[in-house]
Amino acid sequence: MIQRKTRWAVAPWSLTDEDKAKNLAAGLSVPPLVARLLVQRGYDDVAAAERFLRGGQEHFHDPYLLLGMKAAVDRIRLAGARNEKIRIYGDYDADGVSSTSLLVHLFRSLQYNFDYYIPHRALEGYGLNNKAIELAAAEGIGLIVTVDTGISAVQEIENAKQLGIDVVVTDHHEPPEQIPQAAAVVNPKQADCGYPFKGLAGVGVAFKLAHALLERPPLEWADIVCLGTIADLMPLKDENRILVRYGLERLRSHTSVGFRALAEAGGIELDGLTATNVAFGMAPRVNAAGRLDHAKRAVELLTTEDYDNAILAAIGLDSLNKERQRVVESIVKEAEQQWQTKVAEAAEAGIDSPPVIVLAGEGWNVGVIGIVASKLLERNYKPVIILGIDEQTGMCKGSARSIEGFDLHAALTACDELLDHYGGHQAAAGMSLHRDRLLEFEGRLGTLASEWLSADDWIPKTSVDLVCSVNEATLETITELAQLEPFGMGNPSPRLLFQRTELADRRTIGKESKHLKLSLGGGRRMLDGIGFSMGMLAEKLKPGSKIDVIGELSVNEWNGQRKPQLQLHDVHFDPAAADFPEREHFGKVYQRLKQLGQAPLEGLNARLSQQSGLSLETVELMLDVFEELQFIERGNGQMIAAPSPQKQDLSASARYREAKQQFEASQLLV
């Protein structure tokens, strides 16, 4: 037996969904599998699906729908007209760097008098701070424009006003109850903001500001928007999807000096660049600047027009990223040891280990603790807070990552009196507090987790889009699936379940037989499956077995040949799990076939399986029985239900009797 590693959550599928998918397949000329995926993702009419697949700049929303946009534009234009010195104030992560860089390009094109400022992560921390504002006043700054920050800076913005500096806030983080009294505040998440899309990254909000100031969408900077949106894990829906698609196209074909240098330093191929390459190749190198040094190094890369400067900057970021990886590995090791000590102490005391992992250490680099938190979450599947302690002051700066169902921002709000500062989203957040409050903080979070989370919430979940058959996994369909790209947050690469699929062969591949290769399907069409680091499962799998697998379809190109391939996520095999359908199951499936009247055979088994909850093997048995009893006909790629079939008992079918005898015999063996 091979147990599932996670909970498999197969998305529901109804008769209504089936009808919608048929309409989409016909209206958009896409394969049935692509149409079903569109319906599953909420694009269930032709117009919505067309916009999702092929929407362009004509679908951008009016930037003036953002609350505060007119006031922001008026104040910035006034500063430009007066030749007033403007300071862009950004954040040190990839979204903040992207936002800052975009406004540098914008103000440069408008010939404004400006500079930019990003606080040092370790020395100043996140957001506007009073020392930086006092420095701006001393240097004659008349207007500060924040990007990817500022929505919580009530006191700091009041201080700026007292010093004669106006502030325009552009941000996308969750607004607090009290909004700063700035010259303008632009944030789609403000309570009274009627902007139709709330999922913009900080750089997305900066793009809308540029759109308003230029009176056109500045797609020449879509590459920068693409970087920040992907790096900040924003949902690739609505405007984000359009911006990222434009950005990827620009990165592939009209690469700027900075991005070309970044790709060369990181060994990234630009021709076939995907959102995944941006997320795991470009974003970490840009983030490394703010984590270990200063984020201005990344801004310099993205705003320079000199290739020599760009390649030097890119090589520097690549070196910082390698150092970042070494630092992360060291802290992860210390943090995991600290956590295992807590687990052991809880076991000795006869109690459960803490529901929330809260770990702190002196000397832990606060620039990388978010990555450490993510790695511990992957290992332990609990909400994680990692904090670096300042040995002299006792202050802790922390970064948190959460599991589904535990809202970090809401949890930190409930702990407000223990914290000096906090902010973030449901899944990721940051905070600062004194080390003396850590024990109470951990306890409070643990209580909230116990109250908010059910037993199932503690088990990792794999969301499955659809049940699929090997016959549907064709090169044509996989190629058409590319229309759903770019994949990322809010639009993941489709995960498909192949249920009770015959295992034709299995073997291990790679160094030390680390990986698993499967051949799936018992007919003329076969599908290769590749399971990385799954080699140990090979000895438990026997050719001829029926197994369940979850994976993502792709095309394997080797020696000029192209073949469908399934990248395996999870495998389940239970030799005792054989089942035989009851008569009521036959009845429900037959009623569905009568409702259809006529339907293409391609994908029919998978859809019936999805609707009925029965395995593909069981559905195929039923169709064989129905055909033998002349309830249906199959031929020329179609299934046709007989309008008035002769009433017969299922046992009149030799196929039914044979299958039932085989099932009963297998149960005796078990």
pLDDT tens-digit readout, 104-117: 999 999 999 999 99
Q: Are 432 and 402 in contact (CB under 8 A)?
A: no
DSSP designation for 22: H
Count CA atoms within 13 Å of residue 199 on its CB side: 16
What is the CB neighbour count within 10 angstroms for residue 214?
13
Comparing C-alpha atoms, which of 283, 453, 274 is closest to residue 370? 283
In 3D, which of 209, 273, 285 has the Cα closest to residue 247? 273
pLDDT above 90 covers a percentage of the chain that reads 80
- Give me the pLDDT at residue 666, please: 63
Q: How far apart are CA 158 and CA 177, in angstroms?
A: 16
CB-CB contact of 186 with 168 (8 Å): yes
Cα–Cα distance between 651 and 625 in angstroms, integer? 9
Residues paired with residue 412 on neighbouring β-strands, in sequence order: none
**Exposed / middle / buried, residue 527 (Cβ in 10 Å: 0-12, 13-18, 19+):** buried
Please name which of 663, 652, 507, 638 lies closest in space to residue 579, comparing C-alpha atoms: 663
Q: What percent of the chain has pLDDT over 70?
A: 99
> What pLDDT score was predicted for residue 670?
45
pLDDT in tens, 380-420: 999 999 999 999 999 999 999 999 999 999 999 999 999 99
161 pLDDT tier (thresholds 50, 70, 90): very high
pLDDT band at 62 (very low <50, low <70, confident <90, very high): very high
Instruction: Report whether 402 contacts 408 (CB < 8 A).
Output: yes
d(CA 4, CA 9): 12
Residues 6+ apart with CB under 8 A from 254: none
Q: How confident is the model at residue 607 (pLDDT cuts 50, 70, 90)?
A: confident
Q: What phi and psi values does residue 166 have, to the nearest 5 degrees?
A: -85, 150
Q: Residue 285 is encoded by which pair of tokens?
A: 């190198």
Instruction: For residues 226-240, give the mean pLDDT.
Output: 96
pLDDT category of residue 667 using cuts at 50, 70 and 90? low
- Report whether 144 contacts 167 (CB < 8 A): yes
Which residue, 208, 228, 203, 231, is CA-closest to 218? 208
Report the C-alpha gap between 94 and 298 in whole angstroms.
Answer: 9
SS3 state of residue 438: helix
Measured torsion, CA atoms of residues 467, 473, 479, 483, in degrees rounded to the nearest 10: -10
- Residue the block writes with tokens 């949106």: 229
| Under 8 Å between Cβ of 186 and 169 | yes
* Lowest mean pLDDT across 111-120, 164-173, 231-240, 651-660: 651-660
Q: Answer yes or no: is pLDDT of 668 > 60.
A: no
Q: Please, what's the largest Cα pairwise distance for the chain?
A: 94
CA 68, 72, 74, 78: dihedral to nearest 10 degrees?
Answer: 160
Q: Is the dihedral of CA 478, 479, 480, 486 positive or negative?
A: positive
What is the pLDDT at residue 653?
92
d(CA 53, CA 235) in angstroms, rounded, equals 15
Cα 304 from Cα 313, distance rounded (Å): 10
Taking each helix axis from N to C end, the angle separating 46-54 and 15-28, rounded to the nearest 10 degrees, works out to: 60
**Given this model, what pLDDT does residue 456 score?**
87
Q: What is the pLDDT, as a whole number, of residue 580?
A: 84
pLDDT recorded at residue 525 = 84
- Between CA 88 and CA 100, with CA 94 as vertex, the angle to 5 degrees is 15
Burial (CB count within 10 angstroms: exposed 0-12, middle 13-18, buried 19+), residue 620: middle
Tell me: pLDDT of 664 over 80.
no
For residues 245 and 273, the answer to whether their CB atoms sit within 8 Å is no
CA angle 619, 622, 628 (to 5 degrees): 145
Query: Residue 610 is encoded by which pair of tokens?
Result: 């999805």
Residues 144, 114: contact at Cβ < 8 Å?
no
Please, what sign has the CA dihedral across residues 109, 110, 113, 118?
Answer: negative
Backbone phi, then psi, for 13, in 5-degree steps? -145, 130
pLDDT of 553 over the 60 cut? yes
Start-to-end CA distance of the chain, whole Å, equals: 13
Decide: residue 27, CB within 10 A, 0-12 exposed, 13-18 middle, 19+ buried: middle
The pLDDT assigned to 574 comes to 79
**Cis peptide upstream of residue 486 (ω within 30 degrees of 0):** yes
CA 227 to chain centre: 14
DSSP label at 576?
Answer: T
The domains located in the chain, with CATH, are 7-41+465-572 (2.40.50.460), 59-245 (3.90.1640.30), 255-349 (3.90.1640.30), 354-448 (3.10.310.30), 583-669 (1.10.10.10)
The span from the CA of 319 to the CA of 230, in Å, is 22
H or E element: which one contains 591? helix 583-596
pLDDT of residue 577: 62
pLDDT bin (cut points 50, 70, 90) of residue 576 is: low
- Label residue 91 by pLDDT band (50, 70, 90): very high
Structure-block tokens of residue 454: 């059910």
Counting other chains too, the contacts that 185-191 makes at CB distance below 8 Å and 24 or more residues apart are: 185/67, 185/68, 185/150, 185/151, 186/66, 186/67, 186/68, 186/69, 186/72, 187/67, 187/68, 187/151, 188/66, 190/67, 190/68
Query: What is the total residue count of the chain?
Result: 670
User: What pLDDT is attached to residue 323?
Assistant: 96
Q: Which are the contacts of 323, defined by CB distance < 8 A and separation ≥ 6? A: 288, 292
